[in-house]
């Protein structure tokens, strides 16, 4: 691993920490017990600061240090967490994100705007640092952590400083870490009083690996920082080093435990502790005496097992039993957490995309092998190909599942949008989220963010009424915007709804006629009227605001969703509310398809949209001249001939089939010549020349090397239903 890779890891993890920090800030005002969220916010800022210090990112360290100082006051109950302070912390998080973006861009210096923004935020933070501490009631937990005089056996070390015992792992240098950088950063938190270096682990010159680290240190450190802050200095190598941190006035038993945990000889370690100034000679003698007593804590004559150190410490009244129990529970939590982290592996998105592309080619090659095996007709070969096809399908599903992410993370980002926009509009609006566990393709998640942002902001500005009007209509003063997601018929449905004023169909139609979008004599259904808001430049807003009202945005929303092979529909009731319903494919890479033939052409229908296949009866064929629907078990089924739609040459065969498809609750029939069965389809985008071709959503390559077009079922269903307003049977 080189330094660039380590820096990239810092950037990714810092962004994740900033997201966690923002999430905690957004929920903290509604919490009755805020300590956990406050600690999470502090840890996020501190970890970013510590990691930035290792890379010499002084801009981030300097800014975050001031923010951390204010957060520390909040954590110590010297400042109350109020709305204005939350807003300031959110802006600080935004600025930290800009600083991290600057690191990623590798630009030489910050631009003037960023420098001024940072200076303005530091000035606001300094106001809180200059404020007088706010007295807070002392809790039982706080009282339990007060310094107390040790009266039990074992005694205390008479030292006001921290002691840090550090053993770097062999791979620290190989992973791009500089041991000296940790000491430089440690020096920013306090003063290193004394340090001794352990060199006994260094092998002979012949056996030495130049890329391995063999160093260990005993450090006498003076600082007012707490243990969490000091531990954070070594966050980046925490899993690749042995670290012991003992606070000022630690018990003798703590040093005994440390000496037992370290692999070096006790006398050697004791001498290092004396040389760095942590222990006096007399205190070292006490520690070694206690350890000698511990080493014979079992009865050699009976062979009874040695008692655990915790039991010995309790028996000698060095610590209270509750402390031992709490320590054991904490160790278990840390061990479980590390075990869980070790199960996760970060994978570069580009590598994952490359894997999906290779699997796509494998699917195509497998289809070709399948065709050749069928032509050959050998039973053993067919069985082998069948096994291979099944395994390829499993590999495909596994690879696609790695790209699937929960939409909850995207939804949670809108907590900040709703908070900021509601304050700007002067409205009381809350965000409600459901279906956060719904999974969809990572690529879809990345591209759906902007359309959702515009829809949410539009709902808040145009949808939610002001408090006075809501009261007149018998609604609660607080408006609600809801985000919901769920799976339906092989697609994902994302809903953006509000309990606002709804859409006024008459007003929209009048505005459309005024702008010339619709002719005065044209007759439109309510759904068609609602869809007029997606026309470019169309807006019913009386005035332009910073949020919306310029007639731009909704047309971009529609184009972006259609680019994802999705659709958007609107349900609205005037004065009650509106729901924008987006339907998207689960993945943009590989799908299961149903292969059909029309003349010499092949088409692929997404399998999850196929309901059934029926043979067209002679009665239906005779009625084709009069109508474009059939009676399917007393259900009216409108259909369309793919031969006519795509102008396929040649006469239709005597036997034709109808593939019944369903999308968004509506059914339609596609008349084809032949049914060729299920087919794993790798979706290839159409070229720019064919992007606006209606009814086609992409292309794929068959095993024979021929190209087949993938049908855009949503647009075909809509075309069939709108073209034929059929009566009931």
Instruction: State the residue range of the domain holding 555.
Output: 407-585
The verdict on residue 512 lying in a domain is yes
Question: Residue 321 has what pLDDT?
Answer: 55
Check residues 103 and 704 and name the one with the higher pLDDT.
103
Tens of pLDDT, residue by residue over 43-71, are: 888 888 877 876 778 888 889 988 988 99
596 pLDDT band, cuts 50/70/90, is very high
139 pLDDT band, cuts 50/70/90, is very low
Tens of pLDDT, residue by residue over 641-675, are: 899 888 888 888 888 899 999 887 788 899 999 99
Tens of pLDDT, residue by residue over 686-704, are: 776 776 677 888 888 776 7
Question: Residue 578 has what pLDDT?
Answer: 94
Tell me: do 500 and 605 sit in the same domain: no
Eight-state DSSP code of residue 684: B
Check residues 107 and 421 and name the one with the higher pLDDT.
421
The verdict on residue 287 lying in a domain is yes
Tell me: do 576 and 613 sit in the same domain: no
Question: Residue 519 has what pLDDT?
Answer: 84
Residues 6+ apart with CB under 8 A from 297: 306, 307, 312
The verdict on residue 329 lying in a domain is no
309 pLDDT band, cuts 50/70/90, is very low
pLDDT at 292 over 70: no
- SS3 per residue for 226-295: CHHHHHHHCHHHHHHEEEEEECCCCEHHHHHHHHHHCCCCHHHHHHHHHHCCCCCHHHHHHHHHHHHHHH
Cα–Cα distance between 356 and 718 in angstroms, integer?
A: 31
Tens of pLDDT, residue by residue over 406-418, are: 898 889 889 988 9
Cα–Cα distance between 498 and 456 in angstroms, integer?
A: 9
pLDDT, averaged across the chain? 80
Tell me: do 21 and 62 sit in the same domain: yes
Strand pairing report for 404-406 and 439-441? antiparallel
The verdict on residue 118 lying in a domain is yes
Tell me: do 576 and 604 sit in the same domain: no
Tell me: do 596 and 555 sit in the same domain: no
Tell me: do 543 and 595 sit in the same domain: no
Tell me: do 209 and 291 sit in the same domain: yes
Check residues 441 and 348 and name the one with the higher pLDDT.
441
Tens of pLDDT, residue by residue over 431-460, are: 999 999 998 888 888 888 889 999 999 899
Domain count for the chain: 5
Tell me: do 448 and 562 sit in the same domain: yes
- Boundary (domain end) residue, out of 231, 266, 296: 296
253-262, 351-360, 388-397, 622-631: segment of lowest average pLDDT = 622-631
Tell me: do 567 and 658 sit in the same domain: no
Question: What is the average pLDDT across 69-83?
Answer: 88
For residues 584 and 677, is the Cβ–Cβ distance under 8 A? no
Tell me: do 561 and 460 sit in the same domain: yes
Residue 169's CATH number: 3.30.70.260
Task: Give the chain's end-to-end CA distance (angstroms, integer).
Answer: 70
The verdict on residue 314 lying in a domain is no
137 pLDDT band, cuts 50/70/90, is very low
Question: Residue 61 has what pLDDT?
Answer: 85
pLDDT at 580 over 70: yes
**H or E element that contains 430:** strand 429-434
Cα–Cα distance between 63 and 86 in angstroms, integer?
A: 17
Question: What is the average pLDDT across 268-276?
Answer: 81
Residue 713's CATH number: 2.40.50.180
User: pTM (2 decimals)?
Assistant: 0.59
Question: Residue 465 has what pLDDT?
Answer: 92
565 by DSSP, 3-state: which?
coil
The verdict on residue 337 lying in a domain is no
pLDDT at 129 over 70: yes
Tell me: do 573 and 674 sit in the same domain: no
Tell me: do 696 and 631 sit in the same domain: yes
């Amino acid at each position: 691993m080189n330094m660039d890779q380590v820096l990239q890891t810092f950037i990714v993890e810092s962004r994740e920490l900033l997201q966690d920090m923002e999430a905690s800030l957004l929920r903290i005002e509604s919490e009755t017990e805020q300590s956990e969220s406050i600690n999470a916010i502090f840890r996020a800022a501190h970890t970013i600061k510590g990691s930035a210090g290792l890379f010499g990112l002084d801009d981030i360290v300097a800014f975050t240090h001031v923010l951390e100082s204010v957060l520390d006051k909040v954590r110590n109950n010297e400042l109350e967490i109020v709305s204005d302070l939350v807003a300031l912390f959110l802006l600080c998080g935004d600025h930290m994100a800009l600083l991290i973006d600057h690191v990623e861009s590798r630009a030489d210096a910050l631009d003037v705007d960023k420098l001024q923004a940072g200076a303005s935020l530091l000035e606001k933070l300094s106001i809180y640092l200059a404020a007088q501490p706010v007295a807070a009631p002392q809790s039982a937990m706080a009282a339990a952590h007060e310094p107390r005089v040790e009266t039990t056996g074992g005694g205390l070390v008479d030292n006001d400083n921290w002691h840090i015992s550090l053993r770097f792992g062999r791979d620290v240098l190989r992973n791009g870490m500089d041991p000296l950088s940790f000491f430089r950063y440690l020096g920013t938190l306090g003063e290193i009083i004394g340090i001794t270096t352990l060199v006994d682990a260094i092998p002979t010159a012949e056996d030495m690996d130049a890329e391995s680290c063999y160093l260990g240190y005993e450090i006498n450190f003076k600082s007012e920082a707490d243990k969490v802050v000091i531990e954070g200095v070594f966050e980046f190598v925490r899993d690749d080093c042995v670290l012991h941190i003992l606070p000022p006035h630690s018990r003798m038993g703590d040093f005994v435990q440390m000496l037992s945990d370290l692999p070096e000889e006790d006398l050697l370690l004791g001498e290092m502790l004396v040389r760095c100034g942590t222990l006096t000679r007399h205190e070292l003698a006490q520690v070694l005496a206690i350890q000698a007593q511990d080493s014979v804590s079992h009865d050699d004559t009976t062979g009874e097992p040695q008692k655990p150190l915790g039991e010995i410490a309790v028996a000698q009244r060095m610590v209270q039993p509750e402390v031992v129990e709490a320590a054991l529970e904490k160790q278990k939590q840390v061990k479980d957490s590390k075990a869980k982290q070790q199960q996760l592996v970060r994978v570069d998105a580009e590598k994952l995309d490359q894997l999906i592309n290779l699997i796509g080619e494998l699917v195509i090659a497998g289809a070709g092998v399948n065709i050749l095996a069928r032509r050959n007709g050998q039973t053993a070969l067919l069985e082998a190909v069948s096994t291979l096809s099944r395994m390829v399908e499993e590999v495909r599903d596994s690879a696609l599942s790695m790209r699937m992410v929960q939409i909850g993370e995207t939804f949670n980002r809108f907590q900040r949008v709703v908070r900021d926009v509601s304050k700007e509009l002067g409205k009381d609006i809350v965000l409600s989220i459901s279906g956060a566990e719904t999974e969809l393709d990572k690529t879809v998640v990345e591209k759906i963010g902007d359309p959702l942002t515009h829809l949410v902001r539009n709902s808040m500005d145009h949808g939610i009424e002001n408090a006075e009007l809501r009261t007149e209509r018998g609604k609660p003063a607080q408006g609600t915007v809801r985000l919901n997601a769920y799976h339906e018929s092989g697609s994902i449905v994302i809903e953006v709804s509000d309990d606002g004023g709804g859409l006024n169909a008459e007003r929209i139609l009048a505005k459309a006629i005024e702008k010339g979008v619709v002719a005065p004599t044209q007759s439109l259904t309510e759904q068609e009227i609602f869809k007029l808001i997606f026309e470019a430049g169309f807006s019913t807003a009386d005035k332009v605001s910073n949020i919306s009202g310029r007639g731009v945005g909704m047309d971009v929303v529609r184009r972006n969703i259609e680019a994802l092979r999705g659709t958007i529909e609107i349900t609205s009731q005037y004065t009650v509310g509106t729901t924008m319903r987006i339907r998207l494919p689960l993945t943009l890479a590989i799908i299961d398809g149903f292969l059909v033939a029309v003349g010499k052409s092949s088409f692929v229908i997404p399998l999850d949209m196929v309901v059934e296949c029926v043979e067209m009866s002679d009665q239906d064929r005779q009625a084709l001249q009069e109508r474009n629907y059939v009676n399917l078990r007393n259900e009216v089924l409108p259909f369309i001939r793919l031969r006519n739609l795509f102008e396929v040459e040649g006469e239709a065969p005597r036997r034709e089939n109808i593939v019944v498809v369903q999308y968004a609750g509506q059914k339609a029939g596609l008349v084809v010549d032949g049914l060729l069965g299920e087919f794993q389809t790798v979706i290839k985008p159409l070229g720019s020349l064919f992007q606006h071709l209606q009814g086609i959503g992409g292309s794929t390559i068959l095993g024979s090397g021929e190209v087949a077009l993938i049908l855009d079922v949503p647009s075909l269903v809509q075309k069939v239903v709108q073209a034929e307003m059929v009566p009931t049977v």
